[in-house]
Amino acid sequence: MNAPTRSAEQANNSEWMDHAIRAGLVAYGVVHLLVGWLALQLAFGEKEDSASNSGALHYLAQQPMGGVLVWLIAVGMFLLVLWRLLEFAFGYREESDDTKRWRKRLTALFKAVIYGVIGWSAVKTATGSGGSGGGTDSTTSKLMDLPGGQLIVGAVGLAIIGYGGSLVYRGWTEKFREHLDAQGQAGKDGSVYVKLGKVGYIAKGVAIAIVGGLFCYAAITHDPKKSGGLDQALQTVLEQPFGQVLLTAIALGIASYGAFCFARAKHLSR
């Protein structure tokens, strides 16, 4: 193992990285709490910003000291990106199964992209160049114009549905427990943390799966306007029978995921 590789591995396994991950998880939790709050406002007809990551950042920027807080969110997200990239490059060496090792590494890379998108959105919001919306019509339209565009959009939709389904599965089976140390799973506090994780993962997974469903519908109808981000997905929920009740449940679930991020930061296990 050469010196740069050894240094990168040491950085990934260092106590400093643990602190960086904790800071990033707190930032990630704040974003989810704000998305949950905006979704709750949507459910009761008091919408101010889109119920999405970018909408949450825009809402935060309008609060006292909001600009500073958004910059802190950006820093936290980029710390998580660094962690996941190190995991992709050097992580999971203890896995004897090559297929399982690379599956975990690719998952880490996928999460790095998610965190990076939120971080970049935070930078744009902090510098005044980001909007409050979460629309995806333009991106979907560009994909539609490519050769086999409908298939590409459909594949993206199925991938998003798959990711949402994996979150629901992790919530239902409580596989997320592996992210908490033993103390974080013990006693009354541990019971609360696990319940927050279960509700949070399932609610977030359902919301993301609906986003994927909108992409698939756009592919089938060849209409980019049928696709949409989280905000449009939640509005779709609101339009259904008992939509207000369902959207309220999802909003509280997304907020629960945010609270679980705080618990994970306190009782980090990786």
For residues 2 and 189, the model is more confident at: 189
Select from 112, 133, 154 the last residue of a domain.
133
d(CA 247, CA 136): 21
d(CA 114, CA 17): 19
Select from 80, 104, 133 the last residue of a domain.
133
Kindly write down the DSSP assignment for every residue of 44-69, as one continuous string. Answer: TT---S-SSHHHHHHHHHTSTTHHHH
Say if residue 151 is in the same domain as residue 227. yes
Place of tokens 């902090």: 126
Place of tokens 């935070």: 122
For the beta carbon of residue 221, count every other beta carbon within 10 angstroms: 12
* Percent of the chain at pLDDT exceeding 70: 92
Q: Which residue segment(s) compose the domain that 242 sits in?
A: 135-270
Place of tokens 């296990």: 269
Say if residue 140 is in the same domain as residue 111. no
Helix axes 15-43, 66-90, angle to 10 degrees: 120
Say if residue 90 is in the same domain as residue 147. no
Highest averaged pLDDT of the listed ranges 126-130, 136-140, 237-241: 237-241
Say if residue 213 is in the same domain as residue 124. no
pTM for this prediction: 0.86
Say if residue 87 is in the same domain as residue 213. no
Q: What is the pLDDT of residues 85-107, one digit of tens each?
A: 998 988 777 777 778 888 889 99
Based on the structure, what is the number of domains in the chain? 2
Select from 67, 102, 133 the last residue of a domain.
133
Say if residue 153 is in the same domain as residue 266. yes
Position 71 scores a pLDDT of 95
SS3 182: coil
Highest averaged pLDDT of the listed ranges 85-89, 167-171, 222-226, 229-233: 167-171
Say if residue 118 is in the same domain as residue 169. no
